[in-house]
C-alpha cells in the first residue's frame, strides 16, 4: 500500500457531504491531498493545523480540478 501526499490549493469552495448527510464546503485556501493506491477516493486535509478532512471520490476531485476549483501545486 502506497500513500501519496500532494500540496494543493482550493480556489473556489468544493461541496461535500458531511456526517450525518449535511452538505459542507472545503474552503478556499491551501490543502493536502492524500491518495492510497487502489482506493477510489482521496482525502483532502485543510486548516491551520490540518484539523479538517473530507473524503471525496476521485471523479469529484478530477472534476474540481478541470473546473479550476482545485490546483495541484506539486
**How do residues 7-64 score in pLDDT, each as one tens digit?**
999 999 999 988 888 999 999 999 999 999 999 999 999 999 999 999 999 999 999 9
| Of residues 57, 54, 62, 8, the one with CA closest to residue 30 | 8
Beta carbons of 32 and 70 less than 8 angstroms apart: no
Which pTM was predicted? 0.90
Model pLDDT, residue 1: 78
Higher pLDDT, 1 or 25: 25
Amino acid at each position: 500500500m502506497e500513500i501519496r501526499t500532494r500540496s494543493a490549493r482550493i480556489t473556489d469552495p468544493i461541496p461535500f457531504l458531511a456526517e450525518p448527510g449535511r452538505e459542507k464546503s472545503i474552503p478556499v485556501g491551501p490543502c493536502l491531498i492524500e491518495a492510497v493506491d487502489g482506493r477510489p477516493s482521496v482525502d483532502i486535509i485543510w486548516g491551520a493545523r490540518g484539523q479538517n478532512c473530507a473524503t471525496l471520490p476521485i471523479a469529484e476531485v478530477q472534476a474540481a480540478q478541470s473546473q479550476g476549483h482545485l490546483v495541484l501545486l506539486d
